[in-house]
Structure 1
């Protein structure tokens, strides 16, 4: 007799459908109803104006330069644009999303695992079921739209008893979503304050590189 076991941090609709279609009289075991993160994870946030989001993104990349950073964004397009922005400013970055072929995704993941890539900018594709050890920082450039997805994202760091950190970028448009996530994990995130003057030093350079990114992408589309 075949025995099938499913394990998941959360019970998604897809997993429930998979269970219904492939299992007969399944037994559901829920270890803990509370959604918790590990104690070795330090959870921070920065509260910033939307217009300075990319400045702070680059500032954080610089602050944690040399660390293994996993950045989460909402869309494939955003992943590609932020990767180009980081590259133009001298960072060792690549993107990972569902629009890539399997071989390319595996190649990028392998390089990130072994430290050949320091900044991996990904959609939620990378937050589920992938073995990515030794991630120092999970940076949520975009907060997940579903609070439960936060658990999958931050689960990429602070693994196997190691310490880890997540920084959530929160703008004036993200306050309610941030509060929902805090309610889910039953913890208040710790606010990080950076000197605005230090961040604004980057503004002109970042804006210039963003124009370069947009020009490159528009040129590619035309060709």
Structure 2
């Protein structure tokens, strides 16, 4: 199936063609036709499955076909709620790209910068608004935002909003919206609290579950180093001496550790930046821009701060800390090996993390290759007891 088989208008087809999109993904095939019909939708899909285009294209097309002369057309008609600033910015960019040939305005608002900038965004009367819940609610309560004309609502990464404690704000926002509207929800997982929201807002939805590409990733070479916790930074610095590590995204568990490791890398005359929740928005955007332009070779990030980051040509993902949720590992390593390119995912495993590793291997249904040439081998190998027949 091709995009022109989905009922998409020529102006949007031209714009997505310029993005070098070829064949629609399963989530796009399942979502675009019913969303164009105005149906509610539930998509269980992870980042990287093409879900942004799955909801952005129908929203743009439906708004473009409406009467532009109505008063409502100069108000927010489509609202997209997301958990992080980076994801909001990325989705805003996608709306602008797909709607390049349409007379529609997209606004993006998020926390971390002065509200005055977002007040200016709202004064431009966007038809589509992409927002994080907290900043949206602040502006609404101050009287800068009119939500009475919202016809389409998207909750993207609903489970992540739950994890980050945003569900209370989301529920308040829902209470301010018109009762009659089209609802779209996307979530990688469906915990009970998310299911409760689904039952409350979705009416006879079309439901699509996209299996994670996540069980096997043939274009990504996965490598494992067993290493004691105190030696992890030294092992990372050793690996970065290899110039084939051209563009490296390093994941750590805490904000403090992200800063510490980034400073250690910079001391080796390798340019590195750290991003996490304590960095202000301008610092985060600057770090991302330097990394995208390859002016910084290494980006050290926590999971939450890295949400929504999409970097072309990422050669390596390194897990300094193995995540305690197996699906997070899949999400992390999926940032490399994109667009037909190969990539390498390296994980450092201490004795305390072996249970996390076992869960990841069970999810993938495959073992991760153990690197024998390890300059910092684990001092007390208890691996054989925990991982029989691994080697």
Matched, 1:88 2:267: yes
DSSP 3-state at the match of 2:341: coil
1:104-160 Cα deviation digits (max 9, x unpaired) = 212211111110110000000244322211110000000111111111111110012
Matched, 1:166 2:345: yes
Separation in 1 of the partners of 2:43 and 2:286? 27
Matched, 1:8 2:45: yes
Matched, 1:53 2:232: yes
DSSP 3-state at the match of 2:206: coil
Q: Computing the radius of gyration over CA atoms, which structure comes out larger, 1 or 2?
A: 2
DSSP 3-state at the match of 2:360: helix
How far apart are 1:16 and its partner, in Å? Answer: 5.0
Distance 1:3 1:12, change over 3 A: closer
| Aligned 8 A contact 1:127 1:152 in 2 | no
What are structure 2's unaligned runs of at least 5 residues?
Answer: 1-37, 47-187, 378-391
Match of 1:176 in 2: 355
DSSP 3-state at the match of 1:158: coil
Match of 1:118 in 2: 297
Separation in 2 of the partners of 1:33 and 1:138? 19
Structure 1 range deviating more: 184-193 or 56-65: 56-65
Structure 1 range deviating more: 45-54 or 69-78: 45-54
How far apart are 1:46 and its partner, in Å? Answer: 0.5
Distance 1:178 1:110, change over 3 A: same
Separation in 2 of the partners of 1:161 and 1:131? 15
Task: With the length of structure 2 as denominator, give the TM-score of the two structures.
Answer: 0.46
For 1:155, which of 331, 334, 357 is the aligned residue?
Answer: 334
Separation in 2 of the partners of 1:22 and 1:131? 30
Task: With the length of structure 1 as denominator, give the TM-score of the two structures.
Answer: 0.78
1:57-116 Cα deviation digits (max 9, x unpaired) = 211222356510000000111101111111112211000112222222122111111101
| Aligned 8 A contact 2:326 2:356 in 1 | yes
Matched, 1:67 2:246: yes
1:177-212 Cα deviation digits (max 9, x unpaired) = 11110111111111112253xx59xxxxxxxxxxxx
Separation in 2 of the partners of 1:93 and 1:18? 40
RMSD: 2.5
What are structure 1's unaligned runs of at least 5 residues?
Answer: 201-223
Structure 1 range deviating more: 119-128 or 10-19: 10-19
DSSP 3-state at the match of 1:129: coil
DSSP 3-state at the match of 2:287: helix
1:13-62 Cα deviation digits (max 9, x unpaired) = 48656645653333322233784243101011011222322211211222
Separation in 2 of the partners of 1:23 and 1:140? 37
The count of aligned residue pairs is: 198
Separation in 1 of the partners of 2:294 and 2:196? 37
